[in-house]
Amino acid sequence: MYIYPVFRPTRTIARNTFREAVRDRVLYNLVFFALLLIGGAIFLGELSGGQEAKVIVDLGLSATLLFGVFIAIFVGVGLVYKEIERRTLYAILSKPVGRGEFLAGKYLGLCLTLLVNVLVMGAGVSLALAYVAGGWNPLVLRIWPSILLIYLELSVITGVALLFSSFSTPALSALLTFLVFIIGHLSADLKSFAASLGGTTARWFFRGLYYLLPNFSHYSFITPAAHGYVPSFAELIMALLYAGVYVIVLLSAATLIFSRRNFK
């Protein structure tokens, strides 16, 4: 396949990052544990008084999100750090590869890994639903737009992890990324908090923070999905655009910081 030469290094780094992640046993353990949880939802559903399908979707998609976040954070924060530690970064950067291309490749490689994981976990949830229904259940298909939203959220979190890892240690980056994940789900409160404040400066500060931090409430569709609701096409497109624009901001910031770092 012909690829514009500018994107070739990015593609190569992405492919290698994906291969490296696939070889990582921790990743398998996380996916296995998530699938185990999804399987466990079948048994848990029996305690729910006829709400098996809802429990499977809630637990299955929550596990997909949570374990996806773990993968995005713990693999994401090590992407750059590992290359510096192993000193392989010097070999890469000595070739005609820009620092931005390197980061974009790392990011895309992890996104591809996450895509495969999310697809596997989503398929697990669908299979569990079909098993409980003893055949066809409309939820088997109706959960997939919600899975797409989960994936988009994970792609933003990966970007956040990469940004922090471009200037900080893995432990601190993981902590900060996890905090962004939590704040991102509470950002609606941040907005109402800003509105409730008396002082103008404080109000502007919190309002600014609300717009600055990623708003993950746009991607929270697990609960409605468990009732068979599907986000509208417009909602999906907006969520896709939001994630895309936010990732561009994150990667640009990461590149800016990373390009100023001195590795001598």
Partner 1 sequence: MKSNHKFEAMLSLLILLSFAGVVCLSRLMDARRRDIVATPSEEQLYLKGATAKRLSLAFNGLAADWYWMRSLQYVGGKVVKYQDTHPEQAQLDDLGALDLRLLPSLLRVATTLDPQFMAPYEYAAMILPTFSRDEAISLLHYGIEQNPAAWRLYQHLGYIYWQSHDYSKASETYSAGAKLPGAPRWMAEMSARTAAEGGSRRAAREMYQHLYDESNDDQVKQLLERRLMQVDSFDERDRIRRALENYAARSGRCAGSWREVASQLQTLQLRLDPVTGAPLDPSGTPYVLTKKGCDVDLDLNSRVPYR
* Contact pattern for partner 1 over residues 140 through 179, marking x by CB under 8 A: ----------------------------------------
CB 124 within 8 A of CB 143: no
Whole-number minimum distance, CB 105 to partner 1, in Å? 29
Whole-number minimum distance, CB 69 to partner 1, in Å? 10
Q: Enumerate residues 40-59 that contact partner 1 by CB under 8 A.
A: 44, 47-51, 54-55, 57-59
Whole-number minimum distance, CB 47 to partner 1, in Å? 5
Residue entry with tokens 């409605």: 224
Whole-number minimum distance, CB 186 to partner 1, in Å? 7
Whole-number minimum distance, CB 224 to partner 1, in Å? 7
Q: Please identify which residue in 138, 208, 224, 244 interacts with partner 1, judged by CB under 8 A.
A: 224
DSSP 8-class letter at 95: S
Q: Which is nearer to partner 1, 58 or 83 (CB)?
A: 58
Q: Which is nearer to partner 1, 127 or 186 (CB)?
A: 186
Please tell me whether residue 115 binds partner 1 under the rule CB under 8 A. no
DSSP string for residues in 193-212? HHHH-SSHHHHHHHHHHHHH
Radius of gyration of the chain (CA): 20
Please tell me whether residue 35 binds partner 1 under the rule CB under 8 A. no
CB 201 within 8 A of CB 192: no
User: What distance in Å separates the CA atoms of residue 9 and residue 247, rounded to the nearest whole number?
Assistant: 19
Q: Residue 10 has which token pair?
A: 């990015």
User: What distance in Å separates the CA atoms of residue 28 and residue 38, rounded to the nearest whole number?
Assistant: 15
Residue entry with tokens 């900060």: 176
Please tell me whether residue 66 binds partner 1 under the rule CB under 8 A. yes
Whole-number minimum distance, CB 172 to partner 1, in Å? 22
Whole-number minimum distance, CB 91 to partner 1, in Å? 40
Return the amino acid letter for 150: I
User: What distance in Å separates the CA atoms of residue 65 and residue 68, rounded to the nearest whole number?
Assistant: 5
Q: Which is nearer to partner 1, 210 or 219 (CB)?
A: 219
Give whole-number Cα distances, 128 to 132, 214, 251, in Å: 6, 32, 37
User: What distance in Å separates the CA atoms of residue 30 and residue 28, rounded to the nearest whole number?
Assistant: 5
**Binding segment (CB under 8 A) for partner 1, from list 27-35, 60-68, 104-112, 158-166:** 60-68
Binding stretches for partner 1 (CB under 8 A): 44, 47-51, 54-55, 57-59, 62, 65-66, 182, 185-186, 189, 216, 219-220, 222-224, 226-227, 229
